[in-house]
Amino acid sequence: MGNFKNLAQIITGLLIIVGLFFGVWFIIREIWHVFSGLQKEVAAAIVAAIATVLVSIFSIILSKFYERKLLIEKEMREKKIPVYDEFIDFIMNLLSNHENISESEMKEFFVKFTQKILIWGSDEVIKQWSRYRKIALRNLEEDQSVKLMFELEQLLLAIRKDTGHKSSKIKRGELLGIFINDIDDYI
C-alpha cells in the first residue's frame, strides 16, 4: 500500500510539473504572437517599459531582503557580544591570577557559557568551544598547556569572526601575544 502511495505522489508531481511547463510555454507563445504582429518601434517601447518595471520590482525586493538580513545579523550580534564579553572577562581573570578560580568554579562557568553559546554562537564558535572545552577540562600535563593556549587563540579568532571582524591577517600567536608576554617561546 505504501509503494502505491509513493507512486501516486510521483505521478502527481510529474503531472504538475508538465502542466506548469505547458502553461509557461503557452503564455510565452501567446506573448510572442502578440509582439510579432506589432510594429518594431512599438514592440521595443513595450519591452523597454516592461523591463524598467521588472528591474524596479526586483531591485526593491532584493534591497528589502538584504535590509532584513542585515537587521537580523545586527540584532544577533547585539545578543552575542555580552556573552563573548563575559567569556573574555573570565579568561583574563584566569590568566592574570587576580582571582583564584577553583576547578568547580571553572566547570560552573563552562556549563553556563555552553548554554549561552548554544543559542548565540556561530557554528565555528561552537566547534572551537567544544575543542577548547575538551582540553581545558582534562587534567593538563605541562606539554598540553601549550596546546590549550593555541586552542584558546582559535576560539578567540572564531569569536572575532562571529562579531564581524576579519581576522585573516592575524598570524598564529599574535592574538595570544596581547596577554602572554613570552608567546614567541612557544611558536
The answer to whether residues 18 and 90 belong to one domain is no
Q: Are 71 and 112 in contact (CB under 8 A)?
A: no
Residues in the chain: 187
Q: Are 131 and 154 in contact (CB under 8 A)?
A: yes
The answer to whether residues 75 and 167 belong to one domain is yes
The answer to whether residues 48 and 78 belong to one domain is no
Q: Are 101 and 94 in contact (CB under 8 A)?
A: yes
- The dihedral region occupied by 40, where left means phi > 0, alpha psi between -120 and 50, and beta the remainder, is alpha
Cα–Cα distance list, 43 to 29, 35, 37 (Å) = 15, 6, 9
Q: Is the pLDDT of residue 16 over 60?
A: yes
41: domain range? Answer: 2-64
> Across residues 7-29, what is the average pLDDT?
90
144: its cell numbers = 598540553
Q: Coil, helix or strand for 115?
A: helix
The answer to whether residues 109 and 158 belong to one domain is yes
The answer to whether residues 179 and 92 belong to one domain is yes
Q: Coil, helix or strand for 131?
A: helix
pTM for this prediction: 0.63
Distance CA 170, CA 20 (A): 53
The answer to whether residues 98 and 168 belong to one domain is yes
The answer to whether residues 102 and 80 belong to one domain is yes
CA nearest neighbour of 158 among 146, 147, 170, 148 = 170
User: pLDDT tens, 119-173?
Assistant: 989 999 999 999 888 887 775 554 567 788 888 899 999 999 998 888 678 888 8
